[in-house]
Structure 1
């Protein structure tokens, strides 16, 4: 699966309240060269109704890695980025590299309190919160990306348990424990980049990429640019596997 001919296996990890369908435009554009998977995390998509936990989410990603041959590179956005980091630390022999997008903030102080309050409100009125989320996706994203975000269903009612689970994580310890390459990719306008330098310092083999003009959601708008970052990371991992030189211009 990891030969240059087959392409590096890629597991895409979705964000909070959406599902694996959010990655369909990216996976479609990547094409057939890379084996891909985009699992639903507990409480999301086809697994709505299940309780969410970080260990359960890590298990879901690990099962997707299994389905691709036992080793893969992870790409996660927002909640998916935190889960990708946790999975890399738990299974460093199976995670060949990690692209963690929009997930370099610690839920502390007022920042965390705002999200906990919004999550409690969403849980009290889940149907209204789902409709509001769908409206926000359609306002922020082009139609193909917006449709991908909502087509697997929305799960706003589970957000308090997600916020609590992420708040109890120690992403710095996870990054420090993982020996493989990590790409921290943030939109220039993403409010989740507030602790990106702390996250970068925690990485044993990390690099930070800022995408100009992008926010948290709008990082999905330019599919071609996003895919370029994923392919560049995959090229680095593949070169290391095969002991070859990294292509010029790739970070």
Structure 2
């Protein structure tokens, strides 16, 4: 059991995407730390590097009163798995959300190039992107996802960095309970069986009717999973609302 939780956000978002979980968990008495990664939020002027991202997680974990549950979503999930694999005995548990796909180098390069080109298209304004996100989720979700501003120019570096990691090897070395938490409709579920097979002590939790950014699709249920992991409970399937 632990009373500390660290939350690591997705690409181009910031710590504001965790507003719903932070509020609910703090009401339950948890210490919650949700930093901005380099190149994002209040740190958008900084370059994103793997070293600086891992240092951000290190600082957040070191600030906890006790070994925390380390939680990451998408980019944050990949970073969480990599940091946890290099820091045994520092954590109570790990939750990796919406990150169970192994991105090959060629796919990563193409994706990074496509997103980078979109960033510079005249019609791809921050306001238009936020409206599109709101249509897929909700206005509240869009405000939270882009509440710290929309990070520009980081995607190519991020995908190149993540594609250079041996993620399944990272998973295999993690020696604390590991929960893979995916939205039902998340396209990043493609290799979830491989991740689960690689884990020493792993479980897979699916949030019904949730997409890639599952904490914004189903904020209450996502927070419930984090609370149960922190208290050492196994998660029932299907997860009750």
Q: TM-score, normalised by structure 1?
A: 0.85
CA-CA distance at 1:36 after TM superposition: 0.4
Is the contact made by 1:122 and 1:129 (CA closer than 8 Å) also made in structure 2? no
CA-CA distance at 1:219 after TM superposition: 4.6
Q: Paired residue for 1:203?
A: 199
CA-CA distance at 1:210 after TM superposition: 1.4
Q: Paired residue for 1:242?
A: none
1:73-84 equivalent positions in 2, closer than 5 A: 73-84=69-80
Provide the C-alpha distance between the structure 2 equivalents of 1:198 and 1:126, rounded to a whole number of angstroms: 40
Q: Paired residue for 2:156?
A: 160
CA-CA distance at 1:54 after TM superposition: 2.1
**Structure 2: runs of 5+ lacking an equivalent:** none
Matched, 1:23 2:18: yes
Q: Paired residue for 2:62?
A: 66
CA-CA distance at 1:177 after TM superposition: 1.3
Q: Paired residue for 2:129?
A: 133
- Greater displacement, 68-77 / 161-170: 68-77
CA-CA distance at 1:249 after TM superposition: 5.3
Note the alpha carbon deviations across 1:156-208, whole angstroms, 9 max, x for none: 32111011111111111111111011100111110001011111111111111
Looking at both structures, which has the greater relative contact order when contacts are Cα pairs under 8 Å and sequence separation is at least 6? 2
Q: Paired residue for 2:227?
A: 231
Kindly report the root-mean-square deviation, in angstroms, between the aligned alpha carbons of the 2 structures: 2.4
CA-CA distance at 1:123 after TM superposition: 5.0
Provide the C-alpha distance between the structure 2 equivalents of 1:91 and 1:127, rounded to a whole number of angstroms: 43
Matched, 1:115 2:111: yes
**Structure 1: runs of 5+ lacking an equivalent:** 237-245
Q: Alpha carbons of 1:165 and 1:126: their partners in 2 closer, same or farther (altered >3 Å)?
A: farther
- Greater displacement, 115-124 / 40-49: 115-124
Provide the C-alpha distance between the structure 2 equivalents of 1:58 and 1:127, rounded to a whole number of angstroms: 34
Matched residue count: 237
Matched, 1:190 2:186: yes
